[in-house]
């Protein structure tokens, strides 16, 4: 995962903690809702000015947007949880899960 994607996930995480929609965040910082959507999936990278507005809107310090350690831990836990689920399925359901995962990755 690259920096743009990690930053996007972190912004999304803080936004959801504040129970704020993308539309609400975009109104507060004065940017288009589509920009926020692309930012959260790592397609956009904001300027320092925009980052400051986002941090202020989410009531976090600017540096907190770049603390990715917790995100990486959750990804690792998520992967191990998927493996546990897979191991407890019968062969037919394992194949179904494989097809779903394969379809998502394309």
pLDDT for position 71? 56
Residue of higher predicted confidence among 61 and 79? 61
Q: What does the pLDDT average to over 25-53?
A: 93
Q: What are residue 13's phi and psi, to 5 degrees?
A: -60, -50
What is the Cα–Cα distance from 24 to 12, expressed in whole angstroms?
12
pLDDT for position 103? 84
Q: How many CB atoms lie within 10 A of CB 104?
A: 7
Residue of higher predicted confidence among 58 and 83? 58
What is the Cα–Cα distance from 84 to 45, expressed in whole angstroms?
35
| Highest mean predicted confidence (pLDDT) among 20-24, 72-76, 80-84, 99-103 | 20-24
Q: What does the pLDDT average to over 14-39?
A: 94
CATH fold for domain 3-66: 434 Repressor (Amino-terminal Domain) (1.10.260)
Domain ranges of the chain: 3-66, 69-105
């Amino acid at each position: 995962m690259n920096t743009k994607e990690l930053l996007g996930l972190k912004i999304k995480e803080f936004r959801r903690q504040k129970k704020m929609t993308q539309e609400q965040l975009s109104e507060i910082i004065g940017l288009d809702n589509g920009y926020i959507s692309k930012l959260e999936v790592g397609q956009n990278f904001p300027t320092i000015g925009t980052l400051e507005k986002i941090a202020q809107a989410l009531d976090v310090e600017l540096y907190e947007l770049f603390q990715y350690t917790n995100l990486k831990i959750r990804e690792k836990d998520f992967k191990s949880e998927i493996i546990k689920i897979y191991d407890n399925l019968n062969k037919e359901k394992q194949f179904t899960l494989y097809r779903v995962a394969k379809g998502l990755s394309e």
